[in-house]
């Protein structure tokens, strides 16, 4: 005769713990189903809780997504930054490490890209998502500015304007990441890393005069006019 012991239908936890679990489930759903994954039913099922619990812990669905966005963005940033400073010493090598980490398989995961697309597509209509985007993207650029700044301090590069340099580099990184995520067969992560390294090498060798100038250089292109015919 087995001893009868009441087995509870569910378990209570701290709101904080539950919130984290829901954020985790949201991330898993977004990865697997993309846009279709942003559904209270799917998310609650993935978290193993009932439908109503989401609106008990979060103001709305988009509130949950916003928190998930911020969590994931900061987590990835920290991961890449840490990876970059792992075994590197000189600022130049730190940047290379940053590039390598940016195109590591875990970051290039097409599923992760689809998650990002969901976030981006909500920026236009949800103020809270927009706030998260602005915040995290600002921090991302400031990380790049910091790494680039060390480059100038160490003398590996001439002095240059940090802000536009960081903008260009982050754009290059993002553009390569987008294209690699959309069609991985077009080129290889190695090439993406090389192209980023090339850009920094150019910066170090003073190939971008407009980034060096104290004030804006007079007019547009061709700093070395090749009079030809």
Where does this chain bind DNA (CB under 7 A)? Answer: 6, 8-13, 15, 18, 36, 38-42, 49-57, 60-62
Alpha-carbon distance of 122 to 85, in angstroms, equals: 33
Which of a second copy, DNA, none interacts with 184 (beta carbon under 5 to 8 A by kind)?
A: none
Q: How far is the CB of 56 from a second copy (least distance, A)?
A: 26
DSSP type of residue 160: -
Q: How far is the CB of 121 from DNA (least distance, A)?
A: 14
Q: How far is the CB of 133 from a second copy (least distance, A)?
A: 6
Alpha-carbon distance of 23 to 19, in angstroms, equals: 6
The burial of 172, by beta-carbon neighbours within 10 Å (0-12 exposed, 13-18 middle, 19 or more buried), is given as: middle
Residues at the interface with a second copy (CB under 8 A) = 34-35, 92-93, 96, 110-111, 114, 117-118, 120-121, 123-125, 130, 133-134, 137, 154-156, 163-164, 167-168, 170-176, 178-179, 182-183, 186-187, 191-192, 194-195, 197-202, 204-205, 207-211, 220-224, 226, 228
- Angle, nearest 10°, between helix axes 61-84 and 110-123? 130
How distant is the alpha carbon of residue 120 from its chain centre? Answer: 12
Which of DNA, a second copy, none interacts with 106 (beta carbon under 5 to 8 A by kind)?
A: none
Q: How far is the CB of 25 from DNA (least distance, A)?
A: 12
Going by C-alpha positions, the residue among 216, 77, 206, 195 that lies closest to residue 147 is 77
Q: How far is the CB of 32 from DNA (least distance, A)?
A: 12
Which of DNA, a second copy, none interacts with 161 (beta carbon under 5 to 8 A by kind)?
A: none
- E-strand ranges in 139-215 read none
Kindly state the tokens that stand for 143: 């990380």
Q: Is 29 helix (H, G, I), strand (E, B) or coil?
A: helix
Nearer to a second copy, 21 or 167 (CB): 167
Count the residues in the chain: 229
Which of DNA, a second copy, none interacts with 39 (beta carbon under 5 to 8 A by kind)?
A: DNA
């Amino acid at each position: 005769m087995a001893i009868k012991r009441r087995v509870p239908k569910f378990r209570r936890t701290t709101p904080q713990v539950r919130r984290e679990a829901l954020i985790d489930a949201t991330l898993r759903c977004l990865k697997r189903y993309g846009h279709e994954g942003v559904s209270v039913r799917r998310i609650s099922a993935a978290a193993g809780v009932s439908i109503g619990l989401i609106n008990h812990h979060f103001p709305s669905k988009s509130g949950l997504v916003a928190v998930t966005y911020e969590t994931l963005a900061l987590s990835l940033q920290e991961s890449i930054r840490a990876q970059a400073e792992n075994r590197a010493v000189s600022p130049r090598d730190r940047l290379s490490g940053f590039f390598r980490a940016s195109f590591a398989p875990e970051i290039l995961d097409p599923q992760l890209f689809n998650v990002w697309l969901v976030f981006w597509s909500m920026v236009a209509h949800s103020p809270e998502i927009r706030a998260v985007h602005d915040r995290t993207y600002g921090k991302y650029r400031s990380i790049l500015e910091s790494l680039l700044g060390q480059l100038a301090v160490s003398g590996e590069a001439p002095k240059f304007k940090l802000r536009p340099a960081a903008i260009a580099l982050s754009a290059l990184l993002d553009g390569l990441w987008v294209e690699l995520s959309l069609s991985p067969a077009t080129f290889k992560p190695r090439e993406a890393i090389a192209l980023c390294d090339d850009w920094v090498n150019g910066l170090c060798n003073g190939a971008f005069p407009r980034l060096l100038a104290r004030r804006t250089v007079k007019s547009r292109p061709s700093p070395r006019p090749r009079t030809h015919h």
